Copies of this chain bind each other. A is one copy, B any other.
Amino acid sequence: MNERVNLKIKDLEIFVINVLKKCGLNEEDAKITCDVLLLADKRGIESHGVARLKRYVNGIKQGTIKINNNIKIIKETPVSLVIDGEGGMGQLIAYKTMKQCIEKAKKNLICFATIRNSNHYGIAGYYTLMALKEDMIGISLTNSAPLVVPTFAKDAVIGTNPISIGIPANKEKPFLLDMATSTVPRGKLEVHARLREPISKLWATDENGIETNDASKVLTNLIDRRGGGLSPLGGSSELTGGHKGYGLGALVDIFSGVFSSGAVGTDVYVKKGEPSGVCHFLGVINPEAFSGIDVIKKNMDYYIKMLKDSEKCSSQNRIYVAGEKEFESEKRNVDKLNIQDKVFSTLNLIGKEFNLELKIT
């Protein structure tokens, strides 16, 4: 039921790039998009990896994702950009915008970009990592399809709206937060529904807005728009701090959609077959704005070590910092990827369509 196959990353890379080229992307754009997808798999975030290729291919075919991928600058100041993605590939819009933010932050210390009319951009952390590679502080936020129920509401109004912020370190791996503002992403409910396992009451609410253990019901309700959905970080109640997760999710909508005059809340993915309207917010801060890169890296090593060296609770022997598990996963997956059989089958179907082959090692 949950079998997996091994693939050479090189093979998978060639395959994905060729699929995207057959869809009409040029060589460079296909390579960027492929890199975003594969990095998710390498970092163990399978829900955002090649498992999504089919969605992107379908989007391009249906015209909800355009392949004219030049970012249109609506407004530019020394420290900011307002971008219209014009319905292009989210990965390319975000990548190209982040490149500009990095250049501007090198010169002017800070650059923030708010982006409207884009599409799903993969893992938020990809763009934060771009900043980290340049010894910069990176910020990446995006709104998404309404799946999360605000505190005291019945219906899903806001997305799982992730927040990613990354800070460079020296000997330690960078601190890289990349978290949905819901307690869990939809994928977790899908896994539990498949295994018929009850979910935590903090994860979701039913069609009356009441906590539930039943993952299948929540997923069906979401598809049929009957009410209920994922709970914000902290759950559905104020008692457990759910209003805070709701506040953070709304904040992501504001930075992405309100600041860019794009889509927010239920206006994102409002109608099947139409452009999604997804909005992002990207930012780069040059450490020279503060104590400077060398000092900040040294301070980060000290702080990360303080966290990791502190005493463990009785059931654990290790304390992690944000991004650490993903960096270790990336290090393990240098040559090969172990992907779900189900995902491999989907890739093969895409391959057949485009007359491309993908081998198991």
Determine which of B157, B227, B241 lies in contact with A233 in the assembled complex, contact meaning CB atoms within 8 Å: B241
> Are A314's CB and B233's CB within 8 A?
no
Contacts of A265 in B (CB 8 A): 303, 306-307
A29 within 8 A of B: no
- Chain A 26-85 residues near chain B, CB threshold 8 A: 75, 77-80, 82
A114 and B299 CA atoms in complex are apart in Å by: 14
Determine which of B210, B244, B245, B319 lies in contact with A150 in the assembled complex, contact meaning CB atoms within 8 Å: B319
> Are B154's CB and A312's CB within 8 A?
yes
Contacts of A311 in B (CB 8 A): 153-155, 227
> Are B314's CB and A208's CB within 8 A?
yes
- Which of A13-21, A125-133, A287-295, A350-358 touches B? A287-295
A182 and B346 CA atoms in complex are apart in Å by: 42
Interface secondary structure of A, over-half rule:
mixed
Q: How large is the interface on A (under 10, 10 to 19, 20 to 34, 35 or more residues)?
A: 35 or more
> Are A258's CB and B303's CB within 8 A?
yes
> Are B151's CB and A319's CB within 8 A?
yes
Contacts of A250 in B (CB 8 A): 175, 303, 307, 321-322
Determine which of B227, B244, B259, B264 lies in contact with A290 in the assembled complex, contact meaning CB atoms within 8 Å: B259
A177 within 8 A of B: yes
What is the copy number of this chain in the assembly?
Answer: 2
- Chain A 222-261 residues near chain B, CB threshold 8 A: 227, 233-236, 239-241, 243-245, 247-248, 250-251, 253-254, 257-261
Q: How far is the CB of A47 from chain B (nearest CB, A)?
A: 16
A sample of 25 inter-chain contacts (CB < 8 A) reads A77-B288, A79-B79, A112-B285, A112-B289, A114-B291, A149-B313, A150-B310, A152-B312, A152-B313, A153-B313, A154-B314, A157-B310, A175-B251, A202-B202, A202-B240, A208-B314, A209-B314, A210-B315, A233-B233, A243-B320, A243-B322, A247-B322, A254-B300, A257-B299, A265-B306
Using CB atoms and an 8 Å cutoff, list the residues of chain A in contact with chain B: 75, 77-80, 82, 108-110, 112, 114, 149-155, 157-158, 165, 167, 175, 177, 179, 183-184, 200, 202, 205, 208-210, 227, 233-236, 239-241, 243-245, 247-248, 250-251, 253-254, 257-261, 264-267, 285, 287-291, 295-296, 299-300, 302-303, 306-307, 310-316, 318-322
